[in-house]
Amino acid sequence: MSVYSDYLASASTSLACPNGPVSPSQLLALAKSQVDYILGDNPRATSYMVGDGKNYPQQVHHRASSIVSHRVDPSFVSCRGGYASWFSRKASDPNILTGAVVGGPDAYDNFVDQRDNYEQTEPATYNTAPLVGALTRWSQRLQSAAFGRAARDEESKPANRGQGLIFVEQKVTNSWIAEGKNFYRYSAIVSNRSSKKLKNLKLRILNIHGPLWGLTKSGDDYFFPKWMEVFGAGKTMEFVYIQPASPAQVLVSSYTLV
């Protein structure tokens, strides 16, 4: 639903239903309510993601989760022994399968937290994957929001306001968290807005703190590859870079119009 909501929004349209149109924001709100339900906003106040919150499934239908960790008890556990001695126990899981999403409740919000109740307590990829997709979608939106107004303003800011013929426009195309840091992938589009061909373009890039692709550095200047050193009127070229900060400052150092 979240993907279809984005599609509708990009097409500036709504979903036609028998009782009337449904806007992208309404569809997205419905998707969010489903995620909230899975994570505990339900009549049982139970999160159906293992390890999430204080009230989550304790007897997951999963062999490894039902057996004590080798670090706690290094004793050998055979295949049959794992089932007879561990899987059939009525106690809580000694290994918490953090992040797994179980089958969940029935149509009346009833949920029996027992390991042999595989219909409700078995984790599976088809349970977890859709939720991961939805959470990723909102995670990216939250990261972009946290990035701040200044960074958002920079995304489409021309690199050199003093020269109206050559523009560099930047935008964030992806973001993620690694080792506690926010990282951003930037796309920088260089546009030749003149009526002539552009040659010998030199860029100066300040405050860059990560890898860059699509340009070659020589001294303090950056150049496009030889096979891209000439581009016509109205044409664009792109380079990308990654860094854990706001956009780098891209300046047009010099160029030739022919």
Give pLDDT, residue 141: 56
Give pLDDT, residue 164: 64
* Distance (Å, whole) CA 210 – CA 185: 10
Cβ atoms of residues 249 and 205 within 8 Å: yes
Task: Encode pLDDT of 57-71 as tens digits.
Answer: 999 998 888 887 767
Cβ atoms of residues 170 and 247 within 8 Å: yes
Give pLDDT, residue 100: 92
For range 21-34, the mean pLDDT:
85
For range 187-194, the mean pLDDT:
90
Give pLDDT, residue 140: 59
Task: Encode pLDDT of 212-241 as tens digits.
Answer: 999 999 888 898 888 777 888 888 889 999
Confidence of residue 146 (pLDDT cuts 50, 70, 90): very low
Domains of the chain: 39-143 (no CATH), 149-257 (2.60.40.290)
As to burial, measured by CB atoms within 10 angstroms (0-12 exposed, 13-18 middle, 19+ buried), residue 21 is: exposed
Stated pTM of the model: 0.52
Question: Catalytic amino acids?
Answer: 61
Task: Encode pLDDT of 8-18 as tens digits.
Answer: 888 888 888 88
